[in-house]
Amino acid sequence: MGQGFLQISLTLCIVVAIVPVLGRYMALVFSGERTLLDPLMNPIDRSFFVLTGVANKDDMTGWEYIRAVMYSNICMSILVYTLIFFQRLLPWNPNGFDAPTWDILLHTVVSFVTNTGQEHYTGEITLSYFSQVAALGFLMFTSAATGLAVGIAFIRGLTGKKLGNFYVDLTRAITRILLPISVIGAMALVFCGVPQTLDGTLVVQTLEGRTQYIARGPVASFEMIKMLGDNGGGFFGVNSAHPFENPNGAANLMEIIAMIAIPASLIYTYGIFVKNIKQAWLIFWMIFVVFVILTWLAISAEQQGNPLVNSILESQEPNLEGKEIRLGVIQTALWAVITTATMCGAVNGMQDSLMPQGLFSTLFNLFLRIIWGDQGTGTAYLFIYLILGVFLTGLMVGRTPEFLGRKIERPEIILTSVVLLIHPIVVLIPTAIALAYPNSLSGITNPGFHGISQVVYEYASASANNASSLQGLDNNTLWWNLSTCFSMLAGRYIPVTGILLLAHSMSRKPTIPQTPSNLKTDSLLFTIATAGLVVILGMLAFFPVLALGPIAEGFKLASGS
C-alpha cells in the first residue's frame, strides 16, 4: 500500500511540475507568439489557410465563432460517417470488416466529434484500421482542438480581447500542441510494448492445441491522442485495461499524465492571459484539493474491500473484482478518478466493479465537469463558476458584481445559467425515461441501487463528453444509441454556444477602474467561497440520484445486507 501511495505522490508531483511549463507554452501558442515549432509548422499552417481561404488575422464575433464550430463539426461528421460506411472498400482492412449498423455508426460519429469517445461497439471486431486511424483518429485531434479553441476564446473574452479566429486556433492547437506531443508519446508507448502495425489479426496455436486469435493494429498512435485529447474511446473493447493499450506501469504513468496535463495547465494559461498567476495557482490548488479528497475516498474504499466478501473470508482483502492485477488496486482507483475528472473516459479496470465510494467520486466528477475538466470547455466551466461566485458575493455586500474589471449583468447571468443547467437537464430527464421502462429501455443488469447508478452514469458520461460507463449496462440498443446521441450533442454544443456568447459579451464591456473596495478574486477567501458554491450547486442538482445510487448502495453494504 505504501508503494501505491508513493506512486500517486510521484504522479501528482510530475503534474504540478508540468503545469507552468505547458501552461506557459500554450499561452505563447494562442497569443500568436513565436515557438520552437514555428519553422516546421508555419508552412503547414499557411497551406491550410490558403486552401480554406482563412485569413490569419480575421477575428470573429461570438456568433461567427459559433457558426465556424458548428459548420466544421458537421462537415467532419459527414466525412467520417462516409468513411466508416464504406470501410469495406477502403484500405487497411485486413479482417474485411463491413460497416456497422446505422445506429451504432451514428452514435460512434457523434461520440467522437463531440470529444466523448463513448463506445457501444467492440473496436477490434467492428472497425478497420483505416476507420480507427484515419476516421476516428482524425476526429480525436479535431474534437480536442475544438475544445481548446473554445476555451481559449472564452479566456480572451474575459480579458476584454477579441475572441480570435476559430480556424486559426484549431490549426495551432493541432500543429503546436496535440500533434507534436502525440508523436513523441506514441513512440514512447511503442518502446513500452504497445503495438503499431498494419498486419491483421494474429492466429496462433495454444499449448492445448486450440486456435487463438490475437487482435492488433496501429494502437500506439491511437492510444496517445486518445489520452492526450481526453477522447477516451479505446482501440480495443476493454480500452486501456488491454495489455496492448497499457502494457505496464511505465505506460500507465505516461497515459495518466497525458490525460491530466492539458486541462490542468490551461488554468496556468488563464493566469498568463489575465496577468494574475496568483489567482491561477489558487484555482489550481482548489481543484487539486477536491481531486485529492475524491481520490482518497475511492482508493480507501477499494483497499478496504467488499464487507460482504470479507465477512466470508474472515479477513480484510482489497476489492480485486474488475482490477488489473499487473497495475494494482490503487493505480486502478486513481485512474478511475482521473479519467472522470478530466472527462477522458478511458479505463484501465472496470468502473462497474468500483465500491460505492469510488462510484460516488466518479459520478461527482461527471456531475461537476470542472475537476479537472475537459479540453478547453471544462476550463471554461470552471471560470463560469467563478463568474457566478462573483455575482453572488457581490449581491451579499451590495455592490455591482465585477470580474476582471468588467460588470456582471443580467445577460451574463442568463448565459451562465443556461451553461450550468443544461447538464442536469440532459442527464436527469433521459434517466427518468429509461428508469420508467425497466424492461424495454433501461438495460439494467444489476439489481437495486447499483442498477440506478448504471443508468445515471451512462447519461452523465454522455452529457459530460466522457467515454466511460458502468460496463454491465446493456447499452447496445436503438434506445441507448439515439438517446445518448441527444445527451452528447446537447451536452457539447449548447454549453459551447453559451460560453462563446458570454465571452463575446464580456469582451465588449468597458473596463472599470479598480478601487480598494473592489472584490478581490485572487484571495484565499474568495477561492474557498467558490469551492463551496461549486459543491452546493452540484449537490442541489444531483444529490437525489447520488442518494438513490452509490450512497444507498454504500449503506446497504455497510449493513451487511
Q: In whole angstroms, what is the distance from residue 57 CA to residue 323 CA?
A: 51
pLDDT tens digits, 12-28? 999 999 999 999 999 99
- Judge contact between 190 and 217, C-beta under 8 A: no
AA identity, residue 515: T
Q: How confident is the model at residue 395, as a pLDDT? A: 77
Q: Is 161 left (phi over 0), alpha (psi -120 to 50) or beta?
A: beta
pLDDT tens digits, 317-350? 888 888 888 888 999 999 999 999 998 989 998 9
Q: In whole angstroms, what is the distance from residue 169 CA to residue 146 CA?
A: 8
Nearest to 376 by CA among 547, 134, 151: 151
C-alpha cell at 76: 467532419
C-alpha cell at 139: 476526429
Q: How confident is the model at residue 484, as a pLDDT? A: 95
C-alpha cell at 456: 445515471
> Which secondary structure element, helix H or strand E, spans residue 213, and what is its range?
strand 211-214
Residue 512 CB neighbours (<10 A): 13
Handedness of CA 335, 340, 341, 347 (dihedral sign): positive
Averaged confidence pLDDT in the chain: 90
Q: Bridge partners of 218?
A: 196
Q: In whole angstroms, what is the distance from residue 156 CA to residue 510 CA?
A: 14
- Judge contact between 456 and 427, C-beta under 8 A: yes
pLDDT tens digits, 455-498? 999 999 999 999 888 877 888 899 999 999 999 999 999 999 99
Nearest to 117 by CA among 465, 430, 427: 465
Per-residue burial over 33-50, b if 16 or more Cβ lie within 10 Å, else e, is: eebebeeebeeebeebbe
Handedness of CA 15, 19, 20, 22 (dihedral sign): positive
Q: How confident is the model at residue 561, as a pLDDT? A: 63
Q: In whole angstroms, what is the distance from residue 414 CA to residue 402 CA?
A: 16
Strands 202-205, 406-407: pairing is unpaired
Per-residue burial over 240-249, b if 16 or more Cβ lie within 10 Å, else e, is: bbbebbbbee
Nearest to 24 by CA among 271, 256, 276: 271
Residues contacting 456, CB < 8 A, separation 6+: 363, 427, 431, 545, 549
pLDDT, mean of residues 268-295 = 93
Highest mean pLDDT of the ranges 217-226, 229-238, 509-518, 533-542: 217-226
Q: pTM to 2 decimals? A: 0.94
Q: How confident is the model at residue 3, as a pLDDT? A: 64
pLDDT, mean of residues 32-40 = 89
DSSP letter string, 175-210: IIIIHHHHHHHHHHHHHHT--B-----EEEE-TTS-
Q: Bridge partners of 205?
A: 211
Angle (nearest 5°) at CA 556 between 555 and 561: 145
> Which secondary structure element, helix H or strand E, spans residue 407, and what is its range?
strand 406-407
pLDDT tens digits, 499-539? 999 999 999 888 877 666 667 778 888 889 888 888 888 88
Nearest to 288 by CA among 371, 359, 344: 371
Residues contacting 82, CB < 8 A, separation 6+: none
The number of residues in the chain equals 561
Q: In whole angstroms, what is the distance from residue 373 CA to residue 438 CA?
A: 32
Range of weakest confidence among 220-229, 378-387, 428-437:
378-387
pLDDT, mean of residues 60-75 = 95
> Which secondary structure element, helix H or strand E, spans residue 258, and what is its range?
helix 249-274
DSSP 134: I
**pLDDT at position 1 over 70:** no
Reported as half-sphere exposure (CB side, CA atoms, 13 A), residue 269 has a value of 29
